[in-house]
């Protein structure tokens, strides 16, 4: 009889980790009582079935990088969660993918809340306005700048499951949990200008993951 350990639902997969012997690393979502928050909240497990020496250290490395890149916290059991207690599943998946790209968590740095937008050559800045809200601005004026601001705000909404906040400029988005998530927003901001390409890449890697993952990983 096979032993079944419930480690949660797999929500993301790195079929072959280029930084550690091509092992498969999965991200799993569970629901568990979080003693620190004091109620059942979504928590995330980074897991590999590989028993190669050093695999556990690699997993710990990814976990630490996720804490830095996504502003996530860790339970005593090593499960990751956001301080607000919300899942932010899409955001967490992106944090995981970016963390796995790094050879070591010591390379992980929280991303700043501004980027140079290659398309418009404008610097795009995101400011926390409280209650989980973020306002996107550009260091330029005119229709083109306004269009980029609104496109990047739209990118943040798609990548981070953020909501639009009613403003004149279509430049403000918010997390429905009402918490600030500066690290997560900084990370999403690096992808927001190319949201379509990012989503297409993710779709392709998800398909690849399904094809190349060892069947049910038994
Ligand atoms: Zn939140």
pTM for the whole thing? 0.89
Residues 6+ apart with CB under 8 A from 93: 11, 12, 27, 202
Whether residues 67 and 131 share a domain: the answer is: no
Residue that is last in its domain, among 80, 109, 138:
109
Cα(51) to ligand 1 centroid in Å equals 34
Residue 203 belongs to some domain of the structure: no
Taking a C-beta distance cutoff of 8 angstroms, is the pair 76, 60 a contact?
A: no
Whether residues 118 and 164 share a domain: the answer is: yes
Cα(208) to ligand 1 centroid in Å equals 30
Whether residues 73 and 129 share a domain: the answer is: no
Whether residues 19 and 76 share a domain: the answer is: yes
Phi, psi (deg, nearest 5) at residue 149: -60, -45
Residue that is last in its domain, among 59, 76, 109:
109
Cα(6) to ligand 1 centroid in Å equals 26
Cα(174) to ligand 1 centroid in Å equals 10
Cβ neighbours, 10 Å, residue 213: 14
Number of domains into which the chain is organized: 2
Residue 145 belongs to some domain of the structure: yes
Whether residues 97 and 133 share a domain: the answer is: no
Cα(218) to ligand 1 centroid in Å equals 34
Whether residues 139 and 57 share a domain: the answer is: no
Identify which of 117, 120, 122, 121 has the alpha carbon closest to the alpha carbon of residue 156: 117
Pairwise CA distance, residues 110 & 120, whole Å: 24
CA dihedral 97, 133, 42, 158 (to 10 degrees): -50
Whether residues 93 and 16 share a domain: the answer is: yes
Cα(141) to ligand 1 centroid in Å equals 32
Whether residues 96 and 127 share a domain: the answer is: no
Residue 208 belongs to some domain of the structure: no
Whether residues 94 and 134 share a domain: the answer is: no
Cα(4) to ligand 1 centroid in Å equals 32
Residues in the chain: 218
Residue 25 belongs to some domain of the structure: yes
Whether residues 129 and 87 share a domain: the answer is: no
Residue 207 belongs to some domain of the structure: no
Q: What is the CATH number of the domain that holds 122?
A: 3.30.1360
Cα(83) to ligand 1 centroid in Å equals 7
Residue 202 belongs to some domain of the structure: no
Whether residues 105 and 130 share a domain: the answer is: no
Domain residue limits at 187: 114-193
Instruction: Spell out the per-residue pLDDT of the chain, length 218, in tens.
Output: 555 567 999 999 999 999 999 999 999 999 887 777 777 889 999 999 999 999 999 999 999 999 999 999 999 889 999 999 999 999 999 999 999 999 998 989 999 999 999 999 999 999 999 999 999 999 998 999 999 999 999 999 999 999 999 877 779 999 999 999 999 999 999 999 988 888 787 777 666 655 544 444 43
Residue 79 belongs to some domain of the structure: yes
Whether residues 122 and 164 share a domain: the answer is: yes
Per-residue pLDDT, 203: 76
Per-residue pLDDT, 33: 73
Residue 121 belongs to some domain of the structure: yes
């Amino acid at each position: 009889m096979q032993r079944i350990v419930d480690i949660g639902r797999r929500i993301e997969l790195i079929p072959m980790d280029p930084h550690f012997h091509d092992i498969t690393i999965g991200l799993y979502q569970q629901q568990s009582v979080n003693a620190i928050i004091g109620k059942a909240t979504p928590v995330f497990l980074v897991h590999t079935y590989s028993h190669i020496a050093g695999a556990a250290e690699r997993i710990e490395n990814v976990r630490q990088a996720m804490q830095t890149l996504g502003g996530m916290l860790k339970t005593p059991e090593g499960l990751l969660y956001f301080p607000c207690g919300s899942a932010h599943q899409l955001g967490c998946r992106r944090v995981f993918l970016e963390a796995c790209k790094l050879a070591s968590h010591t390379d992980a740095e929280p991303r700043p809340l501004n980027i140079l937008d290659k398309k418009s050559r404008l610097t795009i800045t995101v400011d926390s306005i409280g209650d989980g809200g973020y306002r996107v601005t550009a260091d330029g004026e005119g229709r083109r700048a306004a269009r980029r601001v609104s496109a990047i705000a739209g990118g943040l909404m798609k990548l981070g499951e953020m909501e639009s906040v009613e403003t004149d400029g279509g430049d403000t988005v918010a997390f429905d949990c009402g918490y600030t998530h500066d690290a997560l927003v900084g990370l999403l901001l690096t992808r927001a200008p190319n949201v379509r390409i990012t989503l297409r890449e993710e779709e392709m890697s998800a398909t690849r993951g399904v094809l190349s993952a060892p069947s049910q990983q038994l």
